Amino acid sequence: MIYLDYAASTPMCEEALDMYNTLNKEMFGNSSSLHDAGGQAAYVLDYSRQQIANMIGGHKEGVYFTSGGTESNMLVVQSILNGLPQHKKHWVMSALEHHSMYNLAALLERQGYELTIVQPDKDGRITADTLLPHLKETTGLVSVQHANSETGLVQDLAALSPLLRDRGILLHSDAVQTFGNIPMDVTAMGVDALSVSSHKVYGPKGVGAAYLKPGTPWRPVYPDTLHESGFRPGTVNVPGIAAFVAAAEMMFEHMELHQERYAVLRQYLLAQLRERSIPLRLAVQENRTEAVLHHIVGCFFHGYEGQYVMLECNRRGVCISTGSACAAGHHKPAPAIQALGASDRETLQFIRISFGRTTTIEELNVLVDILADLAHRQERSISH
């Protein structure tokens, strides 16, 4: 099997597996217990919290561990909105957000919050010009995904944060796709809250983290919760968290090398598609790749629905996707793809190819052969 869907999930790396197995055997105590076994687990948890803070340029006190990116998004947004003054009932999010944010939006609207969804400009950017007309006196929070999971398009949060700060508006960003892949610093970016996930960086599933800058007002979604300083209920998954941190440390150590490899793979793939006249069009302009995650290639395959292309690839042993795995099975246009100006027909033709640490040129050649066969099949059917 050739796996080219790393934006959906990654296999656990050896560093994470070793850490997970060791802690489950040797440091399995409850981190809230007062005996030595609990103390050992609490020490690991404290170290892990500090490491995540270091990786994002934040403070240890602002890191809260969760079950993953979706829960981080849902808890951090609700907690911030709960903590804002009553007149700050307006929340803004970009149209490029992850499926989990759209689900949360529907819930919050039922609870009386007013939502505005901001469309990007023609290049897929959320800019001051696209955002400013939607800000009100009642706006309390803006959510802008750091990089889109379908296209890899990276937003310039540092350009947005000053205009929000001047208006007393908080900024949250879903950084699930960027964490561990590109450098980030919450202070330089100007964000007040961040969401990250373990299984995107070769850690275990079911683990993630939320960051709330110390001093940011928030009130817990679940009152009287004792774990994670009241942010989230449930016994803390210390082995999973330590494995997450071990994987993230590996990713950060080799980040530059990974990005260089991904850039080479991306350019090779695009060159092969052009050379063999395969009718794929990138979802974001190729001349803007300096602000795109190199390992995510989102594109439209003219003449075929994305699900058909994905199934044909799967039949021949290659795993790609038609976008965010959290929306898989919902056969309707993805809002993030529509926001880039694609028609309903085009959005259904969308496929996503994403590379990982072990992806090779040979694997991409197999994919290109499959896509070329589909293109030739299409040509033959037209000629007949």
pLDDT band at 128 (very low <50, low <70, confident <90, very high): very high
pLDDT digits (tens, 9 = 90+) for 240-255: 999 999 999 999 999 9
Kindly state whether residues 280 and 211 are assigned to the same domain.
no
Kindly state whether residues 248 and 260 are assigned to the same domain.
no
Kindly state whether residues 147 and 19 are assigned to the same domain.
yes
- On whether residue 175 sits in a domain, the answer given is yes
Kindly state whether residues 247 and 269 are assigned to the same domain.
no
pLDDT digits (tens, 9 = 90+) for 333-381: 677 788 887 888 888 999 999 999 999 999 999 999 999 999 988 766 6
d(CA 198, CA 245): 8
The average pLDDT across 163-177 equals 97
Judged against a pLDDT cut of 70, whether residue 109 lies above it is answered with: yes
Q: For the chain, what percent of residues have pLDDT higher than 70?
A: 93
Two structure tokens written together for 217: 């007002």
Residue with tokens 């959005």: 347
Kindly state whether residues 152 and 293 are assigned to the same domain.
no
Q: What is the per-residue pLDDT for 343?
A: 83
d(CA 65, CA 185): 19
- On whether residue 232 sits in a domain, the answer given is yes
Judged against a pLDDT cut of 70, whether residue 85 lies above it is answered with: yes
Judged against a pLDDT cut of 60, whether residue 384 lies above it is answered with: no
- On whether residue 382 sits in a domain, the answer given is no
pLDDT digits (tens, 9 = 90+) for 71-84: 999 999 999 999 99
- On whether residue 380 sits in a domain, the answer given is no
Maximum mean pLDDT: which of 57-66, 119-128, 335-344: 57-66
Question: Which residues make Cβ contacts (< 8 Å) with residue 168, sequence separation at least 6?
Answer: none
d(CA 147, CA 176): 8
Kindly state whether residues 162 and 175 are assigned to the same domain.
yes
Kindly state whether residues 258 and 361 are assigned to the same domain.
yes
- On whether residue 383 sits in a domain, the answer given is no
Domain boundary among 203, 222, 252: 252
Domain boundary among 233, 252, 271: 252
Kindly state whether residues 18 and 71 are assigned to the same domain.
yes
- On whether residue 384 sits in a domain, the answer given is no
Judged against a pLDDT cut of 90, whether residue 35 lies above it is answered with: no
Which CATH number does the domain housing residue 346 bear? 3.90.1150.10
Kindly state whether residues 146 and 290 are assigned to the same domain.
no
Q: What is the per-residue pLDDT for 332?
A: 64
Q: What is the per-residue pLDDT for 289?
A: 52
What's the number of domains the chain is made of? 2
**What does the mean pLDDT of the chain come to?**
92
Kindly state whether residues 63 and 199 are assigned to the same domain.
yes
Kindly state whether residues 230 and 270 are assigned to the same domain.
no
Judged against a pLDDT cut of 80, whether residue 57 lies above it is answered with: yes
- On whether residue 101 sits in a domain, the answer given is yes
- On whether residue 154 sits in a domain, the answer given is yes
The average pLDDT across 194-208 equals 98
The average pLDDT across 211-216 equals 97
Which CATH number does the domain housing residue 131 bear? 3.40.640.10
Kindly state whether residues 235 and 318 are assigned to the same domain.
no
The average pLDDT across 124-146 equals 96
pLDDT band at 147 (very low <50, low <70, confident <90, very high): very high
Domain boundary among 208, 235, 252: 252
Q: What is the per-residue pLDDT for 333?
A: 67
Query: Can you give the residue range of the structural domain that contains 163?
Result: 14-252
- Active centre residues (catalytic): 326
Q: What pairing do the DSSP bridges indicate for beta strands 63-66 and 208-212?
A: antiparallel
Q: What is the DSSP letter of 112?
A: T
Give the type of residue at 290.
Answer: E
pTM: 0.93
